[in-house]
């Protein structure tokens, strides 16, 4: 009979997930020799090598892949049990993993700060990634909750809207259409546009808007961040379609103008998404309730 400890499994899961002894040690806040010792003890119990190191890279053996598939699920279940026990004791603690798309960086800190103050026992791991990487994490069930603008249609998920996410047409402040009222979309469609990378939720919406109106999207440049797009718009390189959320911190800027285009802003929402049927941890349920009851924190005062 194997005598495997919870600590050994936690260390193994970290090494397997991060493909590195040093990064696992850093994540678990222990020394690298401690990680190596726990892996050695685990391999002695299993009786087979679980990891092999080639240079600085760590790879799973066949036995290691089997154990990783088992222990990752088991540790997740155990973590939920620990949080449930803490909840029975009247405590709100545990670890909460949230993955969000990059645009949410403009408002998520406004909810996470007060949440951490109210629930200091809950440790939050926040991943800020592009849409493609977020969908990959969702498919792998790597996090408790996901925040995005367009929930995937090809995955079994549960989604809940919590905040409006209007899209607006952005132009340089000196653009001839700035200040005009009720601009026909056909006029705007003649302009060149700056766009996000393919797979971006904003890019997908933008392509759909032009396709629905039967007009070609004239792409001047593809940029990898909203900040780069705003700078390029201010520099006169083209127009852009961006979430209004990206402009809130820049309320005092004079280089940009939101055009009054017919049919705009396009009404969308931000969603909290999770895999369908996944049992929420106590920490995740606590955060979701906090978000529902404090959504006003996400909208800055005028």
Q: Where do the domains of the chain lie?
A: 6-73, 92-163+269-298, 167-258
Superfamily (CATH H level) for 92-163+269-298: Periplasmic binding protein-like II (3.40.190.10)
Strand partners, 273: 146, 159
Task: Supply the CATH classification number for the domain 6-73.
Answer: 1.10.10.10
Tens-digit pLDDT profile for residues 262-291: 999 999 899 999 998 887 888 888 899 999
What pTM was estimated for this model as a whole?
0.67
Tens-digit pLDDT profile for residues 78-136: 776 766 666 655 546 678 899 999 889 888 989 999 999 988 888 898 999 989 999 99
**Which architecture does CATH list for 167-258?**
3-Layer(aba) Sandwich (3.40)
Helical segments of the chain, H only:
6-18, 21-28, 32-46, 62-88, 109-118, 131-139, 185-188, 201-212, 226-234, 282-293
Closest of 248, 258, 34 to residue 168, by C-alpha? 258
Give yes or no on whether 6-73 and 92-163+269-298 have one common fold. Answer: no
């Amino acid at each position: 009979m194997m005598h495997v400890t919870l600590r050994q499994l936690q260390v193994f899961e970290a090494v397997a997930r991060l493909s590195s002894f040093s990064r696992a040690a850093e994540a678990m806040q222990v020394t690298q020799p401690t990680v190596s010792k726990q892996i050695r003890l685990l391999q002695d119990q299993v009786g087979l090598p679980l990891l092999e190191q080639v240079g600085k890279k760590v790879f799973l053996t066949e036995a290691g892949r089997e154990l990783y598939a088992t222990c990752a699920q088991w540790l997740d279940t155990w973590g939920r049990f620990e949080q449930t026990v803490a909840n029975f004791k009247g405590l709100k603690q545990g670890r909460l993993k949230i993955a969000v798309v990059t645009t949410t960086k403009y408002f998520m800190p406004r909810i996470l700060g007060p949440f951490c103050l109210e629930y200091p026992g809950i440790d939050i791991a926040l991943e800020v990634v592009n849409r493609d990487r977020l969908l990959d994490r969702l498919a792998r069930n790597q996090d408790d909750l996901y925040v995005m603008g367009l929930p995937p249609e090809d995955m079994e998920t549960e989604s809940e809207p919590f905040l409006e996410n209007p899209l607006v047409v952005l132009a340089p402040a000196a653009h001839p259409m700035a200040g005009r009222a009720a601009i026909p979309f056909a006029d705007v469609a003649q302009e060149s546009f700056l766009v996000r990378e393919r797979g971006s939720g904003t890019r997908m919406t933008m392509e759909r808007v032009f396709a629905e109106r039967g007009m070609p999207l004239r792409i001047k440049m593809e940029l990898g961040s909203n900040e780069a797009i705003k700078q390029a718009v201010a520099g006169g390189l083209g127009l852009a379609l961006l979430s209004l959320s990206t402009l809130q911190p820049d309320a005092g800027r004079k280089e940009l103008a939101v055009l009054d285009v017919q049919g705009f802003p396009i009404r969308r929402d931000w969603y909290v998404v999770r895999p369908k049927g996944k049992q929420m941890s106590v920490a995740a349920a606590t955060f979701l309730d906090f978000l529902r009851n404090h959504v006003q924190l996400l909208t800055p005062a005028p």
